Amino acid sequence: MKYNPISSAEIFNDLCEKIRKLELEPGERISENEMAARYNVSRSTIRSAFSKLEQINVIEIYPQIGTFISPLNMEYVYDSLYIRNLVEMDVLEDVIKLEDKTALIETLRENLKAQEQFRGNLDYDSKFEKIDHDFHYAILESVNRQSMMDILKDSFIHICRWRNFDIRCRKRISSLIDEHGLLAQAIEQNDVKLAKETMKRHILNFNDEYFNQLKKDYPNYFK
């Protein structure tokens, strides 16, 4: 049998994208045979991709039972978002102290223009995800703290998967864009209090009541 010339790394990346976008849903069962047929590759190639997915906790493999897309672990998601919020609020203090923010403000304005084409979208798709990432990266980079993104990158797929789900439930793309705009305004006006309040609301935007309702509506999605 002639297989597709596709590597396990490429399959890993493609499956990560499908998991991040909820095309493969939390709790969904998948199998080596199914994926080998889908990608037209050997089971050993799929097994290698599955091993990497298990290492980053997005699938769970139970011998003799099956392989499943990991449910959303909200303790991990919240802790990751909490750490990110602390980092970015700390960075904002240094950003506000910059004597010349001209280049940063221009970058944020251009980024906000790019975001507008996604206003009203229902999904946190890969194009908007990159623009969102670039917005926050520009803020970190302006004070040479961009390495924080690399430190936190292992949690990104879990954060993005949650954010995709949250945005579908609450249709939050437009709100994210508005929060980015308010954050850029606060930076431009040297208003550290507004900047921090906006960042916290932007990153930690859920509560127990909302989460408990989601668990009732989507019981298979959560641990």
Last residue of a domain, one of 37, 54, 69: 69
More confident residue, 6 or 106: 106
- For 46, the domain range is 8-69
Q: What is the CATH number of the domain that holds 46?
A: 1.10.10.10
Of 17, 34, 69, which residue is a domain's last? 69
What mean pLDDT value characterizes the chain? 92
Residues 95, 99, 101, CA angle at the centre, nearest 5°?
60
| One domain, residues 120 and 23 | no
Q: Is the dihedral of CA 13, 17, 23, 29 positive or negative?
A: positive
For the entire predicted model, the pTM comes to 0.85
Domain harbouring 167, CATH code: 1.20.120.530
Residue 2 lies in a domain: no
pLDDT (tens digit, 9 = 90+) per residue, 59-81? 999 999 999 999 999 999 999 99
Structural domain total, the chain = 2
- C-alpha 202/C-alpha 172 separation (Å) is 10
Q: Residue 141: how many CB atoms within 10 A of its CB?
A: 16
Asked whether residue 26 is domain-assigned, the answer is yes
Kindly state whether residues 39 and 79 are assigned to the same domain. Answer: no
Both 136 and 175 in a single domain? yes
Is residue 19 situated within a structural domain? yes
Predicted confidence (pLDDT) per residue in 77-99, tens digit: 999 999 999 999 999 999 999 99
Nearest Cα residue to 50 out of 8, 97, 19, 94: 8
